[in-house]
């Protein structure tokens, strides 16, 4: 696919599902955490669905916002709690921390890999002097980058930890992408956002970025297109000239 990279100075990549294969690990960890919680409720509730619920309520959002958004879809409200809460079912933060514990267990046991097409695109952009950043809602981004061998490939990382420190609103707000572009010294109109989540595409559009590329690894590009992606590919290798 032809894409004129010469028009842009910077590229801002989401991580899970765009650069690395960890999106499925996240989805499985969410399902385990939510299904354990739902099983404790007195009323019968539909289990967490990886295809529909993950993409609709969790994918791309900060961890605790994802918990709250999904629970509200089932008519459940929990107290927010505190990020220091022990993993469990008593608060939004506790349930989010349970998911994080499950995710880290799988990451330690199985590791993760970068998609070859994504690495090929990174190589191409690097050879042409493009500035690159990772923009992820995950607070595990540093560990995932290390595990996948990509940690040294990016000049800037704005992840869930950085967003909390700077009090940046999470996706679909554009704040984390705008912060990464500023850290790179690139105007949004001269930067490209690369995302696999609808909330991330919406953030790129809201931020006024020069282009938003959607990565569809599910065979259903319609959601990304409807959210405003300028281009949708199934693998980033398609964008290497």
pLDDT, one tens digit per residue, over 177-186 is 999 999 999 9
**Ranges of H-type helices in 171-210:** 175-184, 198-206
* Mean pLDDT across 213-230: 94
Q: Are 50 and 154 contained in the same domain?
A: no
Q: Could you tell me if 140 and 157 are in contact, meaning their C-beta atoms sit under 8 angstroms apart?
A: no
CATH of the domain at 147: 3.40.50.1000
What mean pLDDT is predicted for residues 228-236? 98
To the query of whether residue 49 is one of the catalytic residues in this protein, the response is no
Q: What does the pLDDT read at residue 104?
A: 87
Token pair for 127: 């050879």
Residue 197 shares a structural domain with residue 158: yes
Burial (Cβ within 10 Å: 0-12, 13-18, ≥19) of residue 200: buried
- Among residues 14, 53, 85, 175, the one annotated as catalytic is 14
67 lies in the same domain as 122:
no
- Find the helix or strand (DSSP H, E) in which 157 lies: strand 156-158
Residues 85, 121, single domain; the answer is no
How confident is the model over 107-129, as pLDDT tens digits? Answer: 888 778 899 999 999 999 999 99
For the cut 80, the answer to whether the pLDDT of residue 47 exceeds it is yes
Q: What are the CB-based long-range contacts (under 8 Å, 24+) for 147-150? A: 147/107, 147/111, 147/112, 148/19, 148/20, 148/112, 148/113, 148/114, 149/114, 150/19, 150/20, 150/114, 150/119, 150/122
Please state, in angstroms and rounded to a whole number, the distance separating the CA atoms of residues 90 and 78. Answer: 7
Clarify whether residues 172 and 57 are in a common domain.
no
Q: In the listed set 92, 110, 128, which residue is the last one of a domain according to the structure?
A: 110
In whole numbers, what is the pLDDT of the chain averaged over residues?
94
From 78, 110, 142, the end of a domain falls on: 110
Q: Which range marks the domain in which residue 204 is found?
A: 5-21+112-239
Which of 2, 16, 165, 216 does the annotation list as catalytic? Answer: 16
Residue 31 contacts residue 103 (beta carbons within 8 Å): no
Give the number of domains in the chain: 2
Q: Is 14 a catalytic residue?
A: yes
Q: Residue 25: which pLDDT band, with cuts at 50, 70 and 90? A: confident
pTM, entire model? 0.79
Please give the pLDDT value at position 23: 79
118-157 residue pLDDT tens: 999 999 999 999 999 999 999 889 989 998 999 999 999 9
The pLDDT of residue 55: 86
Q: Looking at 60, 83, 110, which one is the last position of a domain?
A: 110
Q: Looking at residue 26, what is its pLDDT?
A: 85
């Amino acid at each position: 696919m032809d894409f004129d990279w010469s028009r842009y100075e910077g590229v801002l990549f989401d991580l899970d599902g765009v650069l690395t294969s960890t999106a499925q690990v996240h989805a499985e960890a969410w399902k385990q955490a939510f299904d354990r919680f739902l099983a404790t409720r007195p009323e019968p509730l539909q289990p967490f669905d990886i295809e529909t619920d993950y993409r609709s309520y969790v994918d791309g959002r900060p961890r605790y916002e994802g918990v709250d958004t999904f629970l509200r879809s089932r008519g459940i409200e929990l107290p927010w709690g505190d990020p220091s809460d022990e993993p469990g079912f008593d608060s939004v933060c506790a349930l989010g921390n349970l998911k994080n514990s499950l995710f880290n267990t799988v990451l330690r046991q199985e590791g993760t890999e970068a998609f070859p097409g994504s690495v090929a695109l990174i190589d191409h952009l690097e050879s042409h002097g493009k500035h690159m950043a990772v923009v992820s809602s995950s607070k595990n981004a540093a560990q995932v980058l290390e595990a996948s061998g990509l940690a040294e490939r990016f000049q800037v990382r704005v992840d869930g930890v950085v967003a909390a420190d700077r009090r940046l609103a999470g996706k679909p707000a554009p704040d984390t992408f705008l912060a990464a572009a500023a850290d790179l010294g690139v105007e949004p109109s001269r930067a490209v956002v690369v995302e696999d989540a609808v909330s991330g595409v919406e953030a790129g559009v809201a931020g006024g970025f020069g282009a938003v590329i959607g990565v569809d690894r599910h065979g259903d590009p319609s959601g990304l297109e409807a959210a405003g992606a300028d281009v949708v590919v199934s693998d980033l290798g398609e964008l290497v000239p």
